[in-house]
Structure 1
Amino acid sequence: MKKAVRPGHDMQMFAASDVGSERDENEDFYYFSRSRRFFVVCDGMGGLQKGSLASRVAGETVRDLLFGNETVRQIVIADKYFDLSKACADIEEPLPVPALKLVAATRLANRRIEAFMRADRTLKGMGTTLTAMTFHENLAIIAHVGDSRVYRLRDGELTRLTTDHSWLNELIEDNEISEQEAKNFKNKNVLTRALGIYPSVKIDLHIESARPNDLYLICSDGLHAALPDDVIKSVLTAHHGTLQHKISSLVNSAKLMDGSDNITGGLVRLSATWPEPGENVHESYTVDEEPSRVTSYLDHAMKAIYPKPRKKRSSGKTRHVMMATFFSLVALAAVMLFGFGGDSGLSTSFKSSALLSFQGSEKDVRSSPPPQQLKNGGLLVLLQVKDRDALAQLKALTGVRIVDTLSSYKNNTPVYAGRFTWAVADSQEHILYQKRGIRLYPVAVWPENDSSAESSQEISAAPHLLASDDARGRVFLFGRFDSSRFRNATVFANNRPVGPLDACIENGFVLKGGVYTVEIRDTHNRVLRRKNRVQIKKGETIALEF
């Protein structure tokens, strides 16, 4: 097991890593610098040395950008200039410069991993998580992609500061599986976000006030998946042993309890003389995938700063895209609509039972064929249908094609009303698109029609299809809204209240065509989340993720 330590006056940093009991190579990567107040952990995936390459490239890229010399507007890396404002041109929030650096570095790391895979087809499928932490003044700043984690121990309480971007975690959050089922879940390692999966990446950013004697744990899933939180807490709060002993003990315990994965952990202890924060800061952001103009700049900067990866011949098979559903539903139909109008003979029972509509684009599906070959395929709609006769009605409509239907799941086990998740994945089990929190209603309480006065309100009681010539568009909200800050929050569009956040999440809401600023505000009218330049087109349904 590798150990590392770099103590200092205002903070201490320690780390340990182990290959585990079953792996031949350690694909985890970690790096820290007390003088630069920086720590990064990456958990590579792909096997055959691909994972170790991806994690090293990601970790070193973030290190290079964080350590680069700064000019007025740019960062100098290897005698080349990197323009932070161009790499974060799409970010409107007034973030601290170190936070922007972490975002830009994570984006650049993702583009570098993509470049390696383009140059060498044998590297296809490699990727890595990335969890990086830095300190600025009295703030702790975390950038996070994947299922590595950051914990904070403060006043004897252990708090997880990151959210796992995994299929299992999202099932748990949606209460779709029990705690016992989660323990036996076979696809625990399926990630919904990681570097190298797609050309651009969505990043979680957490900024909070750091306090004297705070202790932070940064670790790969090889540690936290093997040890319950109460075990981690007991080791960290023990009064005996040095911090190096504590992190080594956690790694060794994870190896004994499981050992099926590489195990890496790091500790950052702030000293008792660390300055008290003037105000309590606790902010979380989800930074969207960068637009094409930012991607173009990142590629330009990457070519200037880093040598071009060497190309190798490859006879391996290319990856094919497939669609898969990961949910259990009764009487569902996935329907493609091609230029379909809502009044073209579709009964009101269909309109009131639409669970999801999804407009495909090159941003949503990132595998082959190349983007220039993508063509509009229509709307993909998931319907909860009362009976088989209704499917026959759908098939008879012009511009409608039934893609797939499900009437049972796993040995004809019946599925009951409740909340479910619908997802599209490729052959590598990478999630291309998903809609969480789909509500299935018992047939007995279905509305007979949707002609009530609710259809004219901003928020409808039940989702329904909008006609293509409808002047309105429907909006669904996605994101993590489970903290107390969002209790009794309200959604606003262009400073006009739309409705309670819970109702908007449950049913979506409709707006007239136009461009909006959509905000979520608390009971004191403080803005918690904001999306600018949201375009609403008539008859369309969009997903707005915060």
Structure 2
Amino acid sequence: MKEAVAHDVIFMAAGTDVGTVRKNNEDAFYFSNKNQLFVLCDGMGGHESGEVASKLAVETVQHVIHKPENFQIAEVCNDLPENLPSEIKTLVAAVRFANRRILHHAINTPQKRGMGTTMIAAHFQDGMIHTVHIGDSRIYRLRKGKLEQLTSDHSWLNELLEDKEITEKDLEDFNDKNVLTRALGTYPTVKIDAYIENVEEGDLYLFCSDGLHNALSDDNIRQLLSASVHSSLQDAVDSLIHNAKKTDGSDNITAGLMYFPTIGAPKSPYRMKKIIPEESESTGQLLDKNLKNHYAIPIAKPGISKKWIFLAAAAILLMTAVIFPNWNQHPSENVNAGIPSALFNENLQRTASDDNYLNTADLKSAGSVVLVQLRDRKYIDVLQSLEYVKILDAPVQFKKNIPIHAGTFTWAIADNSDNILYKNNNIEIKPLDNWSYESSNQNFASTNRSSEKSAASYTDIPENRGLVYLVGVFPNSTYKDSEIYVNDQLVGKLDNYLNDGFTLRPGQYTVTIRANSGRVQNIKRDITVTDGQILAVEF
């Protein structure tokens, strides 16, 4: 008679390899039999940034899972349904903390800008496995000889497949498999895929980076995992990595296994998938407050390229004032002032004969002041990522608790003696349900042209033209010789137009990015260009 086992038995193993091409390994993993936890991250970004991002993510999840009481889990997950298991809430909190930590590190360390990482994490508890997922790293489960992929890749390729814009037959010739649509550290908030299921006796879970699943087909993986020649779980991991490296070692390769030979108290069949939406601004502030209590945030260093300004411009969709400096000296420390009197030297003098006269001899250049309406306050974090942009003020409401609302307003800048230095009586704040990015830019452009005395736009646009910028992630390895086509007419090489954009006559266009071979890499249809418009087309 078989003796009953009153507890679960779990074995874990993992390994990683740099591959045959890359110099650094940007994958990172962590597992703990004691905590029944597995985490795997695949970093991205140049100058060893991906390596930093993946390690920060793994470390953060490890800290949150080990000591959840230190991270206010209930508060940072107060937007989640109450019936979600605590294990999922803790994993979601860990992911949110990791995302904000990487983002702050990137914002304050210029050479690390653009870094990010994928993440898969799994926590076993009481017969159930709880997982979270961002990016294109994968979780598989081998059950009774059948291999099933439990995650869905957050990649451009997968979106094209799901939208049926390409077929399985096109995969061999598709070179942009690594373009992600979701990752940690690239944006202030993050959408998370969560999954829960009951574990059955004999289940084997595989966690892997794309270096493995791009090299091996699902059938190859199933055969390798089902092989009886493995002397141990670690031997099975090593076999997966060895075969992936032999087939295609162009990427880092990481694999981990979680095996359940015995389940003490099996649960009834259960599966739940849920997409956790992006967190609110108030939750983001709470995350940042907690991060500062646990981690050192790097100090920002000067230096920004023109491209960063237009990346932010594409995200500009609430109201705040910002400066776009265009001088070479380093900016002073950021001060959130209601009236930006810091635009002037502290030793500013007036003549006794004219209260409105300013002695400009001691004035210091302060770049440009721009009033911007943002559709959501979360985009303030995007603006703050630009080193030469300073958020001077970002009111949550007007006086007497009046909320920010649509209407026509007067915007004025005065010095400390209430002398008005600039005034505009026709500032129109658009209602969100009638949002029009194009019309707001048209108004700005026409204002510049209607008066020679008005401030000039930072970009000159020829008459009867709109200025178009292409915004997105265009890695040199994939887009080095790519070309831009507009309505199937060649514009030129992509690299030549990323910083300065190109002009088009008013009209409707399709913009295509093609490889040198003519293969379509990206395409955007129904783009409307109007006279005087500055338009960011996001890819």
Preserved CA contact (<8 Å) 1:141 1:207: yes
The residue identity in structure 2 corresponding to 1:87 is: V
Matched, 1:243 2:233: yes
1:227 to 216, 221, 224: 216
Distance of 1:432 and 1:292 partners within structure 2:
26
Kindly state the Cα deviation for residue 208 of structure 1 after the two structures are TM-superposed.
Answer: 0.6
Query: 1:38 maps to what in 2?
Result: 37
1:131 to 76, 99, 120: 120
Query: 2:25 maps to what in 1?
Result: 26
Kindly state the Cα deviation for residue 180 of structure 1 after the two structures are TM-superposed.
Answer: 2.5
1:164 to 139, 146, 153: 153
Query: 1:64 maps to what in 2?
Result: 63
The residue identity in structure 2 corresponding to 1:154 is: R
Distance of 1:58 and 1:318 partners within structure 2:
27
Change (3 A) 1:422 1:88: farther
Deviations 1:109-167 (A, max 9, x none): 01101111122111100000011000111110001111100000001110111110000
Preserved CA contact (<8 Å) 2:127 2:263: no
Matches within 5 A, 1:7-26: 10-26=9-25
Matches within 5 A, 1:425-440: none
Distance of 2:138 and 2:526 partners within structure 1:
24
Distance of 1:290 and 1:403 partners within structure 2:
38
Query: 2:186 maps to what in 1?
Result: 197
Distance of 2:157 and 2:309 partners within structure 1:
24
Greater share of residues in helix: 2
Change (3 A) 1:28 1:406: same
The residue identity in structure 1 corresponding to 2:251 is: D
Matched, 1:209 2:198: yes
Query: 1:51 maps to what in 2?
Result: 50
Change (3 A) 1:128 1:294: same
Kindly state the Cα deviation for residue 16 of structure 1 after the two structures are TM-superposed.
Answer: 1.2
Q: What's the C-alpha RMSD, in Å, of the aligned pairs?
A: 3.4
Matched, 1:378 2:435: yes
Distance of 1:16 and 1:305 partners within structure 2:
29
Preserved CA contact (<8 Å) 2:202 2:259: yes
2:508 to 400, 405, 413: 405
Preserved CA contact (<8 Å) 1:211 1:274: no
Deviations 1:74-102 (A, max 9, x none): x34xxxx3211111011124111111000
Distance of 1:360 and 1:301 partners within structure 2:
26
Matched, 1:92 2:76: no
Change (3 A) 1:103 1:157: same
Preserved CA contact (<8 Å) 1:172 1:182: no
Kindly state the Cα deviation for residue 432 of structure 1 after the two structures are TM-superposed.
Answer: 10
Preserved CA contact (<8 Å) 2:8 2:265: no
**SS in structure 2 opposite 1:245?**
helix
1:270 to 260, 263, 270: 260
Change (3 A) 1:364 1:211: farther
Q: Tell which structure's C-alpha radius of gyration is larger.
A: 2
Kindly state the Cα deviation for residue 272 of structure 1 after the two structures are TM-superposed.
Answer: 2.7
The residue identity in structure 1 corresponding to 2:261 is: S
Kindly state the Cα deviation for residue 319 of structure 1 after the two structures are TM-superposed.
Answer: 2.1
1:108 to 77, 97, 110: 97
Change (3 A) 1:34 1:402: farther
Matches within 5 A, 1:115-514: 115-241=104-230, 242-277=232-267, 279-314=268-303, 319-321=308-310, 361=376, 367-368=382-383, 378-379=435-436, 405-406=508-509
Kindly state the Cα deviation for residue 176 of structure 1 after the two structures are TM-superposed.
Answer: 0.7
Preserved CA contact (<8 Å) 2:241 2:255: yes
Change (3 A) 1:187 1:93: farther
Kindly state the Cα deviation for residue 237 of structure 1 after the two structures are TM-superposed.
Answer: 0.9
The residue identity in structure 2 corresponding to 1:213 is: G
Deviations 1:446-491 (A, max 9, x none): xxxxxxxxxxxxxxxxxxxxxxxxxxxxxxxxxxxxxxxxxxxxxx
Distance of 1:247 and 1:103 partners within structure 2:
27
Distance of 1:214 and 1:101 partners within structure 2:
24
**SS in structure 2 opposite 1:175?**
coil
When normalised by structure 2's length, the TM-score is 0.60
Deviations 1:274-333 (A, max 9, x none): 4311x221000110110011000000000011123244454666524469x9xxxxxxxx
Query: 2:471 maps to what in 1?
Result: none
Change (3 A) 1:218 1:408: closer
Distance of 2:526 and 2:93 partners within structure 1:
29
Preserved CA contact (<8 Å) 2:508 2:526: no
Kindly state the Cα deviation for residue 106 of structure 1 after the two structures are TM-superposed.
Answer: 0.2
Distance of 1:103 and 1:403 partners within structure 2:
46
**SS in structure 2 opposite 1:144?**
strand
The residue identity in structure 2 corresponding to 1:104 is: A
The residue identity in structure 2 corresponding to 1:27 is: E
> Structure 1: any 5+ residue segments left out of the alignment?
1-7, 69-74, 326-335, 337-358, 382-394, 396-400, 412-419, 425-430, 435-546
Query: 1:508 maps to what in 2?
Result: none
Preserved CA contact (<8 Å) 2:60 2:98: yes
Kindly state the Cα deviation for residue 175 of structure 1 after the two structures are TM-superposed.
Answer: 1.1
Kindly state the Cα deviation for residue 256 of structure 1 after the two structures are TM-superposed.
Answer: 1.3
Distance of 1:322 and 1:403 partners within structure 2:
23
Distance of 1:312 and 1:408 partners within structure 2:
36
Change (3 A) 1:314 1:379: closer
Change (3 A) 1:36 1:402: farther
Distance of 1:157 and 1:57 partners within structure 2:
34
Preserved CA contact (<8 Å) 2:188 2:382: no
Preserved CA contact (<8 Å) 1:66 1:101: yes
When normalised by structure 1's length, the TM-score is 0.59
Preserved CA contact (<8 Å) 1:364 1:432: no
Distance of 1:232 and 1:181 partners within structure 2:
22
Deviations 1:208-264 (A, max 9, x none): 111111000000001001111000000011122132122111111111111111100
Identity of aligned pairs, percent? Answer: 39
Query: 1:386 maps to what in 2?
Result: none
**SS in structure 2 opposite 1:196?**
coil
Preserved CA contact (<8 Å) 1:223 1:264: yes
Distance of 2:183 and 2:131 partners within structure 1:
16
